[in-house]
């Protein structure tokens, strides 16, 4: 089973709203990732959690706040977003971020299509 689930599938929010994106995997992976993808562009890494600890923050604005409650769950809390934050937000997981070979294979969820109005 290589399934990563994400909820919601679609989200429309105003610039003053607070919302959260959720991601879940039950593959025993210890690394989880958030990516942002704009139309016709490749995914861009936002955050990496390794063994439930934030290990990489790619200079993401503080209006995006990640959280990893346990090894299976990853949240992305959104607050005071801008229209340019509208994008497909992808969650991914891998065995471990630095294990050789299979540790690098990232499995992606279907994404949350976010629209900020």
Q: Which is nearer to another protein, 2 or 117 (CB)?
A: 2
How near is the Cβ of 24 to another protein at its closest, in Å? 14
* Residues counted in the chain: 117
Q: Which of 112, 98, 107 is nearest to 56 (CA)?
A: 98
How near is the Cβ of 16 to another protein at its closest, in Å? 27
Q: Which is nearer to another protein, 16 or 42 (CB)?
A: 42
- CA 23 – CA 10 distance, rounded (Å): 13
- CA 19 – CA 117 distance, rounded (Å): 13
Q: Which is nearer to another protein, 98 or 117 (CB)?
A: 98
How near is the Cβ of 45 to another protein at its closest, in Å? 6
Footprint of another protein (CB under 8 A):
2, 4, 6, 31, 33, 41-45, 48, 50, 55-56, 58, 88, 90, 92, 97-98, 100-102, 104-111, 113
């Amino acid at each position: 089973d290589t399934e990563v689930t994400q909820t919601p599938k679609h989200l429309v929010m105003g610039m003053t709203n607070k919302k959260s994106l959720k991601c879940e995997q039950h593959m025993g992976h210890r690394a989880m990732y958030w990516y942002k993808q704009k139309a016709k562009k490749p995914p861009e890494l936002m955050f990496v959690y390794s063994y439930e600890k934030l290990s990489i923050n790619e200079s993401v604005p503080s209006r995006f706040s990640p959280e990893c409650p346990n090894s299976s769950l990853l949240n992305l809390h959104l607050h005071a977003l801008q229209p340019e934050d509208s994008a497909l937000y992808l969650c991914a997981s891998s065995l471990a971020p630095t294990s050789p070979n299979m540790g690098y294979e990232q499995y992606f969820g279907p994404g949350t299509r976010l629209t900020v109005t």
